[in-house]
Structure formats: structure tokens, C-alpha cells
């Protein structure tokens, strides 16, 4: 893995073109000197599959004013603060209560395929107790303001403004490892930049072994570490 300081000044270890599962990251833990990945006393916890149809963009007041003035989103630094000089606008998955409930239903159906309707009705909700990492928080992580849009609205606007109406291309961008966070990034770009980003593999649609995928208008995220702590 490579090491760099990101635009916000934080040190991150990253590997391009791959989304690594936790067991793959654990093999690198000694070299990265990350004690959290080396813990062996973590109890069993659910590994659900989230189907997400909304994106969120968190920001601070200054950027909020610029977004309002410009009437849209862009990289104000035009890539100069990015180590690779790419002008990127960052969005995160907006995983809310409905997505958590739907993921819980899929998890139960997979784990107990012979469960009756009566048993399903009596089943108490549990997955929200594990969804304690900042990725599920209603609070903004990068400022006091948040924009939330349907994924399809964002992709449609991007298609019209940058792709001449063509569908944008999605690729496996990178896995970033921070001290207590794993970040999986998906690159969305115009077909005009196909050659520029050709080294990054296309994002899968139906691969059950992929950490992240895109299918039927939704991002599929197979979360392995959704807990801030494991007290439950």
C-alpha cells in the first residue's frame, strides 16, 4: 500500500484499483502498524448487504456559501490539492433506517431460509444496534451542513453536464485505510476520460464477492465493519 496525506491533512494508506476485504487488510496490518486490525478478540457480528439509493455531501459554512453561489458542486482547488492532480467531488452513501431495515430482512432470509411468516413477524429488530460507525450517523462528519440527493438525480445531472447525455462510467477506485476507518471509493467519470482512468477496473454489477457494486440503480455495499464498538 502507498501512503499519502489527503486534502484534509490526514495520513492515509491506500491501494488503487482494488476494494480489499478485512481479511486482506489484516495481512498488511503488521507492515502498516495498525493495532486495530490485529485484534483477535472481536466477537461475531452481522455482515449485511446494504442497497443504497441516496448520496450525501457534508461540508462547512464557507463551502456551503460557494455551493449556493455556484448553484452546484465542484472541486474549488481544481485538483491542485490532490496528490494525483485529479479534480474530484466527494460523495458518501446515505444509509438510513429504511436501508438498515431492508438489509436486516435480507440477512435473516439468507441465514434462516426456512423461517415462517409468523417467525419473521415476531423477530425483533437488531441490526440498528450494530450500525454505530460514523458511516451511519445522522450528524455531518465534515462540517455542520449536509446535502442529500437521490443517487439517480446525481447521476442524471452528471450525465447531462459532463457526458453529453451518455451514462457515466463507474470504476473500482481505491481502498483507503485510516487509523480507525476503512474507506472504499468508487470513481464516476465521463466516457471522454475513458483512457485517463483505464487502469481502474469497472465496478461490478452482479459479483457476489465484491465489497461494492452497482445494480438496478443502487450501490451495493457489503459491510464488514459497521460497529464503532462491539459492546452489543
Digit-coded pLDDT (tens) for 126-135: 899 899 888 8
The number of distinct structural domains making up the chain is 1
Nearest CA to 14 among 83, 60, 63? 83
Confidence of residue 231 (pLDDT cuts 50, 70, 90): low
Is residue 90 one of the residues assigned to a domain?
A: yes
CA atoms within 13 A on the CB side of 44: 0
Contact 175, 14 (CB under 8 A): yes
Span 199-217, pLDDT tens digits = 999 999 989 999 999 999 9
Is residue 230 one of the residues assigned to a domain?
A: no
* pLDDT for the residue 144: 86
Is residue 229 one of the residues assigned to a domain?
A: no
Span 56-114, pLDDT tens digits = 999 888 888 888 888 888 887 776 767 677 888 999 999 999 999 999 999 999 988 88
* pLDDT for the residue 161: 92
Range of the domain at 43: 2-222
Contact 52, 217 (CB under 8 A): no
For residue 191, pLDDT beyond 90:
yes
Is residue 69 one of the residues assigned to a domain?
A: yes
**Residues 6+ away with beta carbon under 8 Å from 147:** 56, 57, 59, 67, 73
Nearest CA to 57 among 16, 79, 89? 89
CA dihedral defined by 206, 211, 215, 220, rounded to 10 degrees?
140
Is residue 132 one of the residues assigned to a domain?
A: yes
Confidence of residue 34 (pLDDT cuts 50, 70, 90): confident
Is residue 93 one of the residues assigned to a domain?
A: yes
Q: Is the pTM of this model over 0.85?
A: yes
Is residue 227 one of the residues assigned to a domain?
A: no
Amino acid at each position: 500500500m502507498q501512503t499519502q496525506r489527503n486534502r484534509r491533512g490526514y495520513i492515509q494508506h491506500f491501494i488503487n484499483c482494488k476494494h480489499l476485504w478485512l481479511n486482506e487488510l489484516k495481512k498488511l496490518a503488521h507492515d502498516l502498524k495498525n493495532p486495530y486490525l490485529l485484534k483477535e478478540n472481536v466477537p461475531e457480528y452481522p455482515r449485511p448487504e446494504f442497497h443504497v439509493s441516496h448520496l450525501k455531501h457534508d461540508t462547512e459554512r464557507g463551502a456551503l456559501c460557494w455551493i449556493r453561489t455556484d448553484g452546484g458542486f465542484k472541486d474549488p482547488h481544481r485538483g491542485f490539492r490532490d496528490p494525483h492532480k485529479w479534480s474530484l467531488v466527494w460523495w458518501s452513501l446515505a444509509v438510513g433506517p429504511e436501508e438498515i431495515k431492508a438489509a436486516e430482512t435480507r440477512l435473516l432470509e439468507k441465514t434462516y431460509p426456512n423461517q415462517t411468516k409468523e417467525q419473521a413477524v415476531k423477530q425483533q429488530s437488531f441490526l440498528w444496534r450494530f450500525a454505530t460507525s460514523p458511516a451511519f450517523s445522522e450528524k455531518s462528519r465534515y462540517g455542520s451542513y449536509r446535502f442529500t440527493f437521490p443517487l439517480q438525480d446525481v447521476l442524471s445531472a452528471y450525465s447531462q453536464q459532463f457526458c453529453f447525455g451518455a451514462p457515466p462510467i463507474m470504476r473500482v477506485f481505491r481502498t483507503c485505510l485510516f487509523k480507525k476507518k476503512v474507506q472504499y471509493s468508487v470513481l464516476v467519470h465521463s466516457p471522454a476520460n475513458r483512457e485517463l482512468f483505464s487502469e481502474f477496473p469497472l465496478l461490478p454489477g452482479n459479483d457476489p464477492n465484491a465489497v461494492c457494486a452497482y445494480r438496478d440503480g443502487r450501490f451495493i455495499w457489503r459491510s464488514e465493519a459497521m460497529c464503532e464498538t462491539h459492546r452489543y
